[in-house]
Amino acid sequence: MRGEKVSKSGDFSQGSIAATVLRMAAPITLAEIVHVLYNLVDRMFIARIPEIGTAALSGIGIAFPLITLISGFANLCGTGGNPLCSIARGEGDKERARSIMESSFSMLLLIGVALMIILLLLAEPILGAMGGDEETLPYALEYINIYLLGTVFTMISLGMNPFINGMGFAKVGMGTVLIGAVLNIVLDPIFIFVFDMGVKGAAIATVISQFVSAAWVLIFLTGKRTLLKIEKLRIDTNEAGGILRLGATGFMFKFSNSIAQAVVNLTLKQFAGALSTLYIAAMSIINSIREVISQPLSGITTAAVPIMSYNYGAAKHSRVKETIKFMTKAALGYNVAAWLLLMLAPGILIAIFTGDAQLTELTIKCLRIYYATYFMMSFQLAGQNTFVALNRPKYALFFSILRKLILIVPLTLLLPRIGMGVDGVFWAEVISQLLGASACFATMYFTIYKKLPPEIKGPSRKS
């Protein structure tokens, strides 16, 4: 009886769409919130290191694009392989689904090792080029040189956890990050303050925590409970191209975000003058808050992806459309509530990261500009995740780079130079949200949603 229950846990072709999405989203959201704590807890404690807190926090802000880049490479295999794996399961092809998962895992290992070596060799010139100076660069290097040692662990936990969620084991996926983040929360103050290791201590605590999370993933995906088991290391050349094409979406989303963050830091350094360290610290707090408040929205859209993929593979297009509708409405409802909180009571969230009055005042001012149209992100994620779930790599890739590389980067460079000064950096985000999210959702609606018939008889393998 127990085996029968497990075998059906990944079947998304029956039951209420809303109930299934919410059931999946709850543990995924909690897991993603907890995952954010990996970096947030570091920043919270680092910001409170006596005498050097603000400078050290700015240093972490300088290093943050590299951390984002690592998660982007994890997405290259995770967000690329998981939808294809779910489509294959919906079509009833279990062997192909396993091949996709094993190929994704093997590529994650290879990329992780290569990425660690390259970034360790180039970290100092890269961080210097991204705005690190004599005040902030030492702290950025202290943190990133240790953090990079855990690159493979990060890649495994971030890249393979989507497969666990995609098979319906959302609570196990939650455990992946819960166990690591709780450990990080415990170890951070010990290494930072008790052992007096400062920024290095925060990085060591994070690496240990990532190792434990990766071990949890491997134990499950090689154990008896999983629907698909990793049995060997292999890269199926027939599947690798599809994984990378679709995964390029998740990668470019993170990569473009990393580039945008670097450009923002450099522009703040140029136009904020003597206050540049304070402005970069403020942006670090704004990005940290965004990581926290965006997780419920991300949880909803992430939960919807395998449900859409599975039903698309099973040719249940009416359920695909129903999932898109529910995902969009739920995301918009949450985002409006989050936007109101940010506009009306930003100080509550900022106080988590700093008690410095000057930094708090500046962050409130910048935050209200940056998040002025934040509710639009519900449309961006709804459209983006639909492209990924239904294996539309060209659309998915384009819209993953549109908002950051095509809109934010040029606007960040332009607006401060046409009279808006340092505030132009934050207005660039507002304009990109309005234009990018509208274009992404409208394209998804007219090219996918409107063209999916309520019911079809045979399985669709359209890509």
d(CA 99, CA 159): 16
d(CA 47, CA 55): 8
Cα dihedral 371, 373, 379, 384 in deg (nearest 10) = -50
For 151-195, what is each residue's pLDDT tens digit? 999 999 989 998 998 898 888 988 887 888 889 889 988 998 889
Q: Is residue 6 part of a domain?
A: no
Contact call for residues 301 and 327 (beta carbons, < 8 A): yes
H-state helical runs in 47-189: 53-90, 94-129, 137-147, 151-166, 170-189
Q: Is residue 417 part of a domain?
A: yes
d(CA 317, CA 90): 12
Contact call for residues 249 and 387 (beta carbons, < 8 A): yes
CA 330 to chain centre: 19
Is residue 455 exposed (0-12), middle (13-18) or buried (19+ Cβ within 10 Å)? exposed
pLDDT at 7: 34
d(CA 235, CA 103): 4
Q: Is residue 266 part of a domain?
A: yes
Nearest to 318 by CA among 452, 147, 175: 452
Six-digit token pair at 47?
A: 């910001």
Instruction: Note the residue count of the chain.
Output: 463
Nearest to 36 by CA among 247, 198, 185: 185
The type of residue at 95 is E
* Among the ranges given (201-210, 346-355, 424-433), the one the predictor scored with the smallest mean pLDDT: 346-355
d(CA 271, CA 58): 16
Q: Is residue 10 part of a domain?
A: no
pLDDT at 55: 80
Nearest to 307 by CA among 13, 8, 15: 13
Cα dihedral 8, 10, 14, 15 in deg (nearest 10) = 100
For 3-40, what is each residue's pLDDT tens digit? 333 334 567 888 889 888 888 887 777 766 666 666 66
d(CA 446, CA 383): 11
* Among the ranges given (281-295, 368-382, 440-454), the one the predictor scored with the smallest mean pLDDT: 281-295
pLDDT at 38: 61
Please give the C-alpha separations between residue 200 and each of 45, 167, 192, 288, 289, in angstroms, as whole numbers. 12, 37, 7, 20, 23
Q: What does the DSSP assignment read for 394-407?
A: HHHHHHHHIIIIII
> How would you classify residue 49: left for phi > 0, otherwise alpha for psi between -120 and 50, otherwise beta?
beta
The type of residue at 450 is K
376 vs 294 pLDDT, higher one: 376
Q: Is residue 463 part of a domain?
A: no
d(CA 134, CA 127): 11
Only one residue has tokens 């940290």, namely 288
Rg (alpha carbons) of the chain, rounded to whole number: 21
237 vs 56 pLDDT, higher one: 237
Q: Is residue 77 part of a domain?
A: yes
Q: Is residue 457 part of a domain?
A: no
Q: Which domain holds residue 311?
A: 15-451
pLDDT at 67: 85
As for how many domains the chain has, the answer is 1
Residue 423: enclosing H or E segment and its boundaries? helix 423-447
CA 355 to chain centre: 28
H-state helical runs in 222-351: 237-271, 276-293, 295-313, 317-344, 346-350
For 217-232, what is each residue's pLDDT tens digit? 999 999 999 999 999 9
d(CA 360, CA 231): 52
pLDDT band per the 50, 70, 90 thresholds, residue 364: very high
Q: Is residue 179 part of a domain?
A: yes
Buried residues in 208-236 as b, exposed as e (16+ CB within 10 A): bbbbbbbbbbeebbeeeebbbebeeeeeb
Nearest to 303 by CA among 96, 12, 1, 14: 12
Residue 389: enclosing H or E segment and its boundaries? helix 377-389
The type of residue at 372 is A
pLDDT at 23: 84
Residue 194: enclosing H or E segment and its boundaries? none
